[in-house]
A and B are shown apart, each in its own frame.
Chain A
Amino acid sequence: MKKSKVFWGYAIIALVLYAVVQTLISFGMVNTHYQNMLITMCINVMLAVSLHLVIGVTGQFSIGHAGFLAVGAYISAICTMKLGMPFSMAILAGAVVAMLAGLLVGIPSLRLRGDYLAIATLGFAEIIRIVFLNIDYVGGAAGMQVTHQSTWTYAFVGTAITILIISNFTNSRHGRACIAIREDEIAADAMGINTTYYKVAAFAVGSFFAGVAGAIYAHNFYIIQPTAFGFLKSFDILILVVLGGLGSLSGAVLAAIFLTFVSTYLQAFPETRMIIYSLVLILVMLYRPTGLLGTKEITDLFKFRKKGGTKV
């Protein structure tokens, strides 16, 4: 009962947020620059939340998320530009292929741990990028022309679905299995959890939504180029998760929103942007090594009184 009330609460907030922005856009009160920022914000939230599932929830230090972003971007662009499919179908296709890529990468590499996994995923992401770089069908290094089809509606709905599904996954026996793996893989295994299965599942779901983000990204900028999906992009996404607090979905969302603002305002000074990014990271590591929210969710902040009451 209570839980479904909370759900409807969020649903109403989301709907109002969407409607307000959409109304402002329809009345021409949000110029293209800010529309772009809003869509980029949604893309970053999707990327952050999907990587949060892999790193924050399941504890698998994968740092090649840009690879799956690239798969979603290129596959969806092929679908709309070469095959003439509708945008919504193209998003789904991009996501599904990104998920398959996630399975392909995840099945061999998730047997590795810690640093080795990080290096393997980073390597795979580079391979994916270099494959696109060398396929003339998608324009090679020059990139691929893509029509602008991403709108606030697509971006917002994609983000809402990403958050809803990943939060539903996390708050179920499947999510608990993933958290158990993060906490103590040997104990999780000994309690009957098929650890490989859940690591791969989390990775696949994370890749799927990185693919959705990729599709919306590709159709927002008129052109996609392999250089946009290098390891710096993977690093950008990683920062969102670390800054938000490993293990906190709302932390990842807040960090994505915050850093989109920061980088939009610093767009004119790309060097400064990297310096500020690095400074932010260093400061977080020094003063808040668990990230902004740690493993807490923003909703926990409102629960203090209740918790005090049940303590024995």
Chain B
Amino acid sequence: MSTLLKVDSLGIQFGGLKAVQNVNMYMENGELIGLIGPNGAGKTTTFNMLTGVYAPTEGTITFAGKQIQGLDPYKVTRGGISRTFQNIRLFKELSVLDNVKVANHSLANHNILSSIFRLPKHFSGEAKMEEESLAFLKIFGLDVYKDELSKNLPYGMQRRLEIARALAAGPKLLLLDEPAAGMNPQETKELMDLIAFIRKEFDLTILLIEHDMNLVMGICERIYVLDHGQLIAEGTPAEIRSNPKVIEAYLGEEVAD
């Protein structure tokens, strides 16, 4: 095993608010890691820094040996990190298939001229995109919906499409932001099996944000716990379960609710 991702004293400040500070983490190739924490802990903000949506105000992110903090999101994605969004961000007026094709975009290489003059390269390039994108839809059982507009998909299918789309960008590291949010237990179970499947199939390293503790404990090898923007614990599920700081953070949340 080798280290794929290393995060050193990462932090970001919005005005006066330190949303995330002094976060250190690492991920070995092939690991499935959980990132948990109460509402507003800074989990999504951490994803946003890892993917270039926010430039961190302190610290470094090293991915596959290169520092990537502050890079444009599309460059980060092409470098091998892709993600899903907590509040679904599909391309609503595009078909299900086209949503995946958009993510497949940077793996194709027919240029604008070949497309506007319909040169042979355009046709072969588009055919390859179609084939690859359909294969991703099949894995997620979305191929029957391929011509539907993505906004018309049932909610659970939209969540699946988010993952299919992220996968089509060809990542080494996949970041999933509450992929099972709003799903029923049956759907959640199927989704987790699917995640286990694609992890093997595509040799993925996965960082998973999830609120359902049991779920995270069940499938993750290691877990990081964020609270108020800081890491308060890391370790195996068993270690996390018995960590007093974690219990306190979560109890605190329940009392606040």
Q: Assess the A312–B105 pair: CB atoms within 8 A.
A: no
Question: Of residues 57 to 110 in B, which have CB atoms within 8 Å of A's CB atoms?
Answer: 72-74, 77-78, 82-83, 85, 89-94, 98, 101-106, 108, 110
How many angstroms from the CA of A312 to the CA of B101 in the assembled complex? 21
Q: Assess the A193–B118 pair: CB atoms within 8 A.
A: no
Mask for B115-151, Cβ within 8 A of A = 1, else 0?
Answer: 1111000100110010000000000000011010000
Mask for A179-198, Cβ within 8 A of B = 1, else 0?
Answer: 11001101111111111000
Residues of A near B165 (CB, < 8 A) are: 191
Residues of B near A165 (CB, < 8 A) are: 116
Among A168, A183, A312, the residue within 8 A (CB) of B92 is A183
Determine if B112 is an interface residue (Cβ-Cβ < 8 Å): yes
Among B73, B85, B115, B125, the residue within 8 A (CB) of A168 is B115
Determine if B169 is an interface residue (Cβ-Cβ < 8 Å): yes
Determine if A31 is an interface residue (Cβ-Cβ < 8 Å): no
Determine if A295 is an interface residue (Cβ-Cβ < 8 Å): yes
Determine if B51 is an interface residue (Cβ-Cβ < 8 Å): yes
How many angstroms from the CA of A194 to the CA of B82 in the assembled complex? 15
Q: A183-B91, A184-B91 are in contact. Are A193 and B102 (CB under 8 A)?
A: yes
How many angstroms from the CA of A307 to the CA of B146 in the assembled complex? 12
Q: How far is the CB of B78 from chain A (nearest CB, A)?
A: 5
Q: Assess the B85–A187 pair: CB atoms within 8 A.
A: yes
Determine if B219 is an interface residue (Cβ-Cβ < 8 Å): no
Residues of B near A175 (CB, < 8 A) are: 115
Question: Of residues 144 to 194 in B, which have CB atoms within 8 Å of A's CB atoms?
Answer: 144-145, 147, 165-166, 169
Q: Assess the B91–A172 pair: CB atoms within 8 A.
A: no
Q: Assess the A176–B74 pair: CB atoms within 8 A.
A: no
Residues of B near A173 (CB, < 8 A) are: 101, 104-105, 108, 110, 115, 125-126, 129
Residues of B near A191 (CB, < 8 A) are: 74, 77, 82, 102-103, 105, 165-166, 169
Question: Of residues 38 to 67 in B, which have CB atoms within 8 Å of A's CB atoms?
Answer: 51, 53
Q: Assess the A295–B89 pair: CB atoms within 8 A.
A: no
How many angstroms from the CA of A224 to the CA of B189 in the assembled complex? 69
Residues of A near B89 (CB, < 8 A) are: 184, 186-187, 190
Among B85, B93, B102, B129, the residue within 8 A (CB) of A247 is B93
Count the A residues whose beta carbon is within 8 Å of the partner chain — how many? 29
Residues of A near B125 (CB, < 8 A) are: 173
Determine if A152 is an interface residue (Cβ-Cβ < 8 Å): no
Q: How far is the CB of B101 from chain A (nearest CB, A)?
A: 6
How many angstroms from the CA of A189 to the CA of B52 in the assembled complex? 9
Q: A183-B94, A190-B53 are in contact. Are A177 and B116 (CB under 8 A)?
A: no
Q: A180-B102, A190-B77, A191-B103 are in contact. Are A174 and B91 (CB under 8 A)?
A: no
Q: A173-B125, A176-B94 are in contact. Are A188 and B115 (CB under 8 A)?
A: no
Q: How far is the CB of B100 from chain A (nearest CB, A)?
A: 9
Q: Assess the A192–B105 pair: CB atoms within 8 A.
A: yes
Q: How far is the CB of A191 from chain B (nearest CB, A)?
A: 4
Residues of A near B115 (CB, < 8 A) are: 168-169, 172-175
How many angstroms from the CA of A192 to the CA of B94 in the assembled complex? 17
Q: How far is the CB of B64 from chain A (nearest CB, A)?
A: 16
Smallest CB-CB separation from B144: which chain A residue? A312
Smallest CB-CB separation from A307: which chain B residue? B147
Residues of A near B106 (CB, < 8 A) are: 192-193
How many angstroms from the CA of A92 to the CA of B145 in the assembled complex? 44
Q: Assess the B91–A180 pair: CB atoms within 8 A.
A: yes
Determine if A201 is an interface residue (Cβ-Cβ < 8 Å): yes
Question: Of residues 262 to 312 in A, which have CB atoms within 8 Å of B's CB atoms?
Answer: 295, 307, 310, 312
Interface CB pairs A-B, < 8 A, 15 = A172-B126, A173-B104, A173-B105, A173-B108, A184-B90, A187-B89, A188-B102, A190-B89, A191-B82, A192-B78, A193-B74, A193-B105, A194-B74, A307-B147, A310-B147
- Can you list the 4 inter-chain pairs with the closest CB atoms, starting with the nearest? A172-B115, A192-B106, A183-B91, A192-B77
Q: Which of A's residues lie within 8 Å of B, judged by CB?
A: 165, 168-169, 172-177, 179-180, 183-184, 186-195, 201, 247, 295, 307, 310, 312
